[in-house]
Amino acid sequence: MASFFTTRLFFISLALVIVAATLPLYVSGYVLGLLTVAFYFGVFAMAWDLLFGFAGEVNFGPTFLIGVGAYTAGILNAQFGWSVYLCIVLGALASVIAGLVLALPALRVRGPYFGLTTLVAVLMLQNFIVVFADLTGGEIGLTIPDVITINAGANYWIALGFMSISAAILYGLSQSPVGLVLQASGQDPVQAGALGFNIVKHKLAAFIVSAFFSGLSGALLVFYFGTASVGTVVDVAVGVNVIVSAVLGGRRTVLGAALGAIFLIVAGEFLRPTGELATFIVSAVALLVVLFFPGGFLGAALSREARS
Amino acid sequence: MRAFQILIDGFAISALYALGATGFTLIFGVSGVLNLSHGAIMVAAAVAAWAAASILNVGTYAGALIGVGVALLTSFATYFAVVKPIQDSRRIPNEEKEIFVLTGTLLWGIMIQEVIAYLFTNNAKTVLPIVEGVVEILGVRTPKNEIFTAIVCCFVIALLWLLVNRTRTGKAVLAASMNPRGVTLLGLELTNIYVVVWAIYGILAGIAGVLLGMFLGVSSYSVGPLTASAFSIVVLGGLGSVSGSLIAAFVVGYLETLTAYLVSPAYRTIPALLLLVFVMYIRPQGLLGRR
């Protein structure tokens, strides 16, 4: 762990964060708003990568965890008027509980079967939101009265700080002995169990950590947007974006997932002039990366460094 | 009266689901591929049939044929441009090929969906039905098209059963699903079998798509729900088990119809989802799964 602070990756990341922190001094509010959303998405993608890349769980429903956190925080604030910070904490906690609910089938079924369970979880949450429209705002979405701040720069710094801290914690965890045990139990649970590691405990921990960061990020995003809606935090399409980000940036790298998310959101914005074709182009680029650079951006860069 | 209506409507929907899910489960059974562009291929077939019949005025029969042809081409494109490169790739470790195929086909499906939306807009399209008019069965006014749909679905599934169980090619496909290595040792080229399976899949998905377009209409928004429903039916029945999928299709089809008629159309999909979760807890391999 200590040796990490002397690696090139650490200095590059530190330099990137410092450069990013100075951005509000000279770029427009529009760019800041875009990056703010991208940073929260980066946390979604990193949390997903911890489950998939390390614990080997194919979670098709990252938006189940995100949505529970986001909607819990939003409902508590909009319907009961609780303070923003309390709502964010409770949103993250609700998401942890959702993570435990999701972990139960994961301990019984594997691969595509678990993938489907997570997908079903998202569809159920979506149905629940639509059916209990009085509480959740239904298909129109929930308007949230409070926001953390309306200053674009401050919002940007909060998002950047949150993403950097999450990245440090998640990356540190992935490189720690716990991360190695997780990776082992993801690749060969029987053998990892035979070596004396408690797989159930480690997998549960991975779910809890992943859910905590997803929910926290979802709750923060809700208070940034000022609304919670199915289209922004629950829809399967949002989950697909999170998965594509992580695979694009490089699975099993944690940091790559954040890069992928930022790329995906910024690229989508750059392609806006192409109108309806934007999604097509982003998907096509992502497919080409999956086919020709299966390691993703960071995976390709790291393997080149390792070779030289 | 209402019971008959549920019986008839449910049968047509279930038969359509069964047809859509059969090809999906066949591919999984033989080559272990879960094709998440399934919904996109079905919609592509329906939209092609709609465009041929309504814009080019080629007539309903030719339109339906064009739709199935487009599905066949898309199916081959999926196999040769997305699935085969991933399966043959040396850079992707074997144990991760499954997730790469899932991601790859998912992205491919989004690309197809976007092309359809770009060329033909997002509006819902209803393919001109081959048979028109209404008949009265047991006091229920039923569109002839609904009966036609159910008959074609049953006929095609029966044909598939004959193909798989009674022909040489079909037996090779069956053998490949049981033991791929054994098949290659007997001197059969595995790639050829995969091509045959993808061809069968393309035709099945095409017919299902065109019929769906005539029966309920499609838009590029139907892509996700169609894939999800095929996926859940197949998992409910047991991945790779064709007869399991048929049973599951009827369970899901009737459950949805019952809910839509007796409770509210808004809750249509909820009981099926609950059943799915329940089955996966007590019997993770599905109703007739082999694993």
User: What pLDDT shows up at residue A3?
Assistant: 58
DSSP state of A273: G
User: What pLDDT shows up at residue B30?
Assistant: 86
Q: How far apart are CA A71 and CA A229, in angstroms?
A: 8
Place of tokens 């399934």: B38
Among A62-71, A145-154, B59-68, B279-288, which is the least confidently predicted range? B279-288
Chain A residues interacting with chain B (CB cutoff of 8 angstroms): 52, 58, 105, 108-109, 111-113, 115-117, 119-120, 123-124, 127, 130-131, 187, 236-237, 240, 243-244, 247, 276-277, 279-280, 283-284, 286-287, 290-291, 294-295
User: What pLDDT shows up at residue B215?
Assistant: 86
Q: How far is B276 from chain A (nearest CA, A)?
A: 8
**pLDDT-based confidence at residue A93 (cuts at 50, 70, 90):** very high
Q: How far is B220 from chain A (nearest CA, A)?
A: 13
Q: What is the 3-state secondary structure (H, E, C) of B70-121?
A: HHHHHHHHHHHHHHHHHHHCCCCCHHHHHHHHHHHHHHHHHHHHHHHHHHHC
Q: How far apart are CA B84 and CA B89, in angstroms?
A: 8
User: What pLDDT shows up at residue A140?
Assistant: 82
Judged by a CB distance cut-off of 8 A, whether residue B115 touches chain A is yes
* pLDDT higher than threshold 80 for residue A6: no
Q: How far is A236 from chain B (nearest CA, A)?
A: 8
The string of pLDDT tens digits covering residues B95-135 is: 778 778 888 898 899 899 889 888 888 788 888 888 777 77
Mean pLDDT of A83-91: 91
A130/B231 CB distance under 8 A: no
Distances (CA, A) of A208 to A101, A184, B2, B181: 10, 18, 48, 41
**pLDDT-based confidence at residue A4 (cuts at 50, 70, 90):** low
Query: Which residues from chain A sit within 8 angstroms of residue B276, using beta carbons?
Result: 116, 120
Exposure string of A56-82, with b = 16+ CB inside 10 Å and e = fewer, is: bbbbbbbbbbbbbbbbbbbbbbbeeee
A109/B280 CB distance under 8 A: yes
Q: How far apart are CA A190 and CA B53, in angstroms?
A: 57
Q: Quick one: closest CA in A to B271, which residue?
A: A124
Mean pLDDT of A82-91: 91
A244/B103 CB distance under 8 A: yes
* pLDDT higher than threshold 60 for residue B38: yes
**pLDDT-based confidence at residue B190 (cuts at 50, 70, 90):** confident
**Mutation choice for A interface testing from B89, B110, B222, B229 by most A CBs within 10 A:** B110
User: What pLDDT shows up at residue A308?
Assistant: 54
Mean pLDDT of B223-235: 83
CA pseudo-torsion sign B92, B94, B99, B101: positive
ipTM confidence score: 0.82
Please tell me which of the candidates B103, B117, B280 has its beta carbon nearest to residue A247. B103
Per-position DSSP letters for A225-239, written without gaps between them: HSEE-HHHHTSHHHH
**pLDDT-based confidence at residue A150 (cuts at 50, 70, 90):** confident
Count CB-CB contacts under 10 A for residue B185: 9
CA pseudo-torsion sign B172, B177, B182, B184: positive
**pLDDT-based confidence at residue A198 (cuts at 50, 70, 90):** confident
SS3 of residue B286 by DSSP: coil
Mean pLDDT of B274-288: 79
Give the count of Cβ contacts less than 8 A between chain A and B: 102
Nearest Cα neighbor of A287 from A250, A249, A248 is A248
Place of tokens 């990366």: A289
* pLDDT higher than threshold 90 for residue B74: yes
Q: Structure pTM?
A: 0.84
Mean pLDDT of B51-60: 84
- Give me chain A's average pLDDT, please: 85
Please tell me which of the candidates B91, B107, B232 has its beta carbon nearest to residue A294. B91
* pLDDT higher than threshold 90 for residue A212: yes
- Give me chain B's average pLDDT, please: 86
Distances (CA, A) of A207 to A22, A55, A246: 34, 9, 17
Mean pLDDT of B158-179: 87
Q: Quick one: closest CA in A to B238, which residue?
A: A113
B284/A113 CB distance under 8 A: yes
Mean pLDDT of B230-243: 82
Place of tokens 């939101």: A129
List the structure tokens of B195. Answer: 């091509």
Beta carbons within 8 Å of B91's beta carbon, 6+ residues apart: A294, A295
User: What pLDDT shows up at residue B120?
Assistant: 86
Compare A207 and A104 and report the one with higher pLDDT.
A207
User: What pLDDT shows up at residue B134?
Assistant: 78
List the structure tokens of A226. Answer: 């000022």
The string of pLDDT tens digits covering residues B178-188 is: 888 888 888 88
Q: How far apart are CA B21 and CA B243, in angstroms?
A: 11
**pLDDT-based confidence at residue A238 (cuts at 50, 70, 90):** confident
**pLDDT-based confidence at residue B78 (cuts at 50, 70, 90):** very high
Q: How far apart are CA A197 and CA A184, in angstroms?
A: 9
**pLDDT-based confidence at residue A2 (cuts at 50, 70, 90):** low
Single-letter residue type at A74: G
